Amino acid sequence: MSIKLEMLRVFRIVADQGSLAGAAARLGRTPSAISMTLSQLEAEVGAPLFETDRKNRLTKVGALVLEEAVRTTDVFESCRMTIQRLTASIAGTVRIAAVPSAIATILPNAIAHFQKTRPDVRLEISDLDSASVRRRVRLDEADIGILTASEEAQDNGLEIETDPLGILYRADGPIDRAIRSGKGRISWAVLRHEPLIANPLCAWVSHPTVEELREACNLEARNTTALISFVREGLGATILPQSVRAILPTGLLLNCPDDPVALRTLRMISNPDRRLAPAAQEFWSVIRSSARSPDSSIT
């Protein structure tokens, strides 16, 4: 037999209460069980811990052992409480890393729906590019990631939205006038009428005009809100998903050329090596239930 934490805990409480009966009442055990635990500890120590059977006065050895018992049980209690807080925090927090356009178009409705049934859960949203979202999920720094699908990365997960990409421009601006005065379909070539505000989605458009303007542009942003603000201020035009139309302020237009049609697909991912906590699984289900383009592949 060796000295166990429970022996030290019982000894500390007996010393604090000054009697077996008091310790038994506090621990919810019988006095005989408490006495047996103390006897086991004394056997391991090799000396009596109390001067008398009344347990109201410690021996010199008992006083020294009590110091260690207090120190050890305090450390254990601190550790226990820290783990409990951590567990409660993790279980009650969902960490979402998402690309800006998903935060602007998909998450608001999902969050509103989720909070109706789980107002107790804390949601932490990080606004990142796809590569950073992927890294956060892999390193377990995010529970759920929403990113632009990439064939190169071969992301698993759930396809939640496929959107055509379009040109975002100001009403009555150069691009708008060129479109209204022209004939036929809208082309990516109209981007030549204004400076291009580049963003990662531009790389998904396979058109020589877009590729040329990307090389020459001197303004780039990744945040959807920032891109919309820049266009509204007349700094140029940019490329965003069609779903952004729902949040556009008055005075901005978004049209999707078909020469060629350019598509952006969003996927929702999680770490395949870790099981989602219940709250995160619930949030995943909320997004899945409202997905525009669901499929059956889930991490």
Give the pLDDT confidence score for residue 88 in this predicted structure.
Answer: 58
Is 67 a domain residue? yes
Query: Which of 39, 65, 90 represents a domain boundary (last residue)?
Result: 90
CATH code for the domain in which residue 182 is found:
3.40.190.10
Give the pLDDT confidence score for residue 184 in this predicted structure.
Answer: 61
Is 136 a domain residue? yes
Say if residue 181 is in the same domain as residue 193: yes
Residue of 135, 106, 110 whose CA lies nearest to 264: 106
Say if residue 273 is in the same domain as residue 238: no
CATH code for the domain in which residue 30 is found:
1.10.10.10
Give the pLDDT confidence score for residue 298 in this predicted structure.
Answer: 36
Say if residue 150 is in the same domain as residue 269: yes
Is 296 a domain residue? no
Say if residue 11 is in the same domain as residue 43: yes
Query: Which of 72, 90, 108 represents a domain boundary (last residue)?
Result: 90
Q: What is the pTM of this model?
A: 0.62
Is 126 a domain residue? yes
Is 207 a domain residue? yes
Q: Which residues pair with 2 in a beta bridge?
A: none
Is 297 a domain residue? no
For the chain, the domain total comes to 3
| 44: its two tokens | 């391991």
Say if residue 180 is in the same domain as residue 232: yes
pLDDT tens digit sequence for 240-256: 999 999 889 999 999 99
Is 138 a domain residue? yes
Say if residue 179 is in the same domain as residue 135: no
Scanning the structure block, which residue is given the tokens 């396979």? 206
DSSP code per residue over 15-73 = HHHTSHHHHHHHHTS-HHHHHHHHHHHHHHHTS-SBSSTT--SB-HHHHHHHHHHHHHH
pLDDT tens digit sequence for 203-240: 999 999 999 999 999 999 988 999 999 999 999 999 99
d(CA 169, CA 253): 6
Say if residue 177 is in the same domain as residue 247: yes
Task: Name the stretches of the chain with pLDDT < 50.
Answer: 293-299
Is 298 a domain residue? no
Say if residue 128 is in the same domain as residue 272: yes
Say if residue 169 is in the same domain as residue 245: yes
d(CA 137, CA 272): 9
Say if residue 130 is in the same domain as residue 273: yes
Query: Which of 40, 74, 90 represents a domain boundary (last residue)?
Result: 90
**Residue 113, burial from CB neighbour count under 10 angstroms (0-12, 13-18, 19+):** middle
Amino acid at 204: W
| Domain around 241 | 163-263
